[in-house]
Amino acid sequence: MKASTRWQDYAAVIIGAYAALSPLWLATDTGARWSLIVLGVLVALAGLASMARPGMAAVDYAMGVFGVLMFISPWVMNFSSMTGASWTAWVVGALTVVVAVAGLPAMSARMHGHGGVAAH
């Protein structure tokens, strides 16, 4: 089995690690800290899983869900007033969704000129 060389996988690991480590330098409360750590680790693990099993679309879908959860976490976990933590969650969440969508097999095929699901 060939390991992945997709930029999306590496980006997910970096983005997830950044989020998971961000409570070290950001002012957080319990909700913010655990949201950033848990969701950041899940994003990084999804990136690693995608590296190990390239083409496994379920990982990209899961990563997208983690990105949405990260984006809404400041409101759900009530830390939207903490500027650093909330902006980190919003930016990391949005970037995670972009990376996940770019990593979907059909999207990757279209972006690289290989047709896609509805290729004629």
Q: Which amino acid is it at 48?
A: L
Please name the amino acid found at residue 85: A
pLDDT, residue 113, reads 55
Q: Is the pLDDT of residue 24 over 90?
A: yes
C-alpha torsion angle, residues 15, 13, 110, 57 (rounded to 10): -120
pLDDT of residue 107: 54
Report pLDDT for 93.
Answer: 97
Mean pLDDT across the chain, nearest whole number? 87
Q: What share of the chain is helix, strand, coil (3-state, %, to 5)?
A: 75, 0, 25
Average pLDDT over residues 41-65: 90
Average pLDDT of the residues in 48-55: 86
C-beta neighbour count of 61 within 10 angstroms: 15
Query: Model-level pTM greater than 0.85?
Result: no
- Domain map of the chain by residue range? 7-111
